Amino acid sequence: GSRSAQQGAAGGDGSAGGAVAHTPSTEDFSLSLLDTNLPAEAETELRSFIAKRLTKGALFEGMGNVASVGLSIPEGKVGCYYCRFQQESLLEMATLESDINAPEYVVCFLGGSEKEDTFRLELDKYIQNLKINLDLEQKNLEACVSPYLRNWFEDAICPIQRVVQLFQDKLGSLLHAALSYTPVEVKNADERTEKDISRFLAAASLQGLVQEGTMTSLCIAMTEEQHKSMVIDCSGPQPQLHNAGSNRFCEDWMQAFVNGAEGGNPFLFRQILENFKLKAIQDINNLKRFIRQAEMNHYALFKCYLFLKNCGSGDILLKIVKVEHAEMPEARNVVTVLEEFMRE
């Protein structure tokens, strides 16, 4: 009942197509179509799907959801990202004057399969930028919104794929830089390529998956080692890397990306990236468990050493546990011994 009397919906299209809605016979809101590139029948089905979600109160302002939806299109069942939002300035006014009747919007993007939830954060950010830039005082909504919406797939979904295709067999060094929080400097690149590389590094890092203090300390340590900054020169057809590091772990995963490039599915690349991070986290947790055992057991210390030698990512794992165990004397001693073994 608290929803506005006039709700709109806008949408863009990736591999499948998408957007919503006309007027369902629900008492507390109506849906008006702003933009779509779906066929009429599928658009009606999507409108009905969104109307049901709105009726249940299942859409929170600014927070995207991903669900599987069956539509009358060749793909049949697709993943649907949908997000309800209000223009930024009107949202602030609405909190001050609770009776304000500001229009709200629902954006839907269709693509991938019903299992794809991997790009939700990128799409939330995409909608956030739309909210900031949307000026409802301009009556020509189509001119300011449509071009932005129609680029959603290229801008929010494809950066990882573009980076894989650009770096190819040099991708291992980029994965290594992301895992180890090595500072990266990009030279002679156009704006889109520079953004793509930055987003790939952010997506491949363990931000949010390991303790925040660890990440901060790692960033400080790596930034202080200025000679270890990696430089990417994009002046030629293929990027040239300077001061690049890599290890067997990153090279193996690079191969998985290169093999996946034949199919050219951006959702697959994102899934490989998530699996890469998951394996790195598992290795960190295993090493930490071995270190706890090694505090009291010399055989466990040897197991630590063997694990570091064989996991393919010992250089990075050792840095991470060294930072995490800096305040723990026994564990710190174990790490120091391991460092000496690894150097030898």
Q: What pLDDT is recorded for position 27?
A: 53
SS3 123: helix
The closest of 244, 252, 269 to 162, measured between CA atoms, is: 269
Q: What pLDDT is recorded for position 326?
A: 74
Q: What pLDDT is recorded for position 267?
A: 86
pTM of the predicted structure, to 2 decimals: 0.81
| Separation of first and last alpha carbons in the chain | 71
5 burial class (0-12, 13-18, 19+ CB within 10 angstroms)?
Answer: exposed
List the structure tokens of 90: 């009107």
pLDDT, tens only, 45-75: 999 999 988 888 777 787 899 988 999 888 8
| Contact criterion met (CB below 8 Å) for 31 and 23 | yes
Lowest mean pLDDT among 138-142, 306-310, 314-318, 334-338: 138-142
Question: How much is the mean pLDDT over the chain?
Answer: 81
pLDDT tier for residue 114 given thresholds of 50, 70 and 90: low
112 burial class (0-12, 13-18, 19+ CB within 10 angstroms)?
Answer: buried
Residue found under tokens 């799409």 = 123
| Contact criterion met (CB below 8 Å) for 313 and 248 | yes
Residue found under tokens 């004397």 = 329
Other CB atoms within 10 A of residue 51 CB: 23
- Residue 180, pLDDT above cutoff 50: yes
Question: Strand order of the sheet with strand 240-242?
Answer: 184-187, 230-233, 240-242
Q: Hey, where are the domains in the chain?
A: 40-88+102-139, 166-343
User: CA neighbours within 13 Å on the CB side: how many for 193?
Assistant: 18
- Residue 172, pLDDT above cutoff 90: yes
Residue found under tokens 């120091």 = 336
List the structure tokens of 34: 């702003």
Q: What pLDDT is recorded for position 171?
A: 96
In the chain, what's the furthest Cα-to-Cα distance? Answer: 75
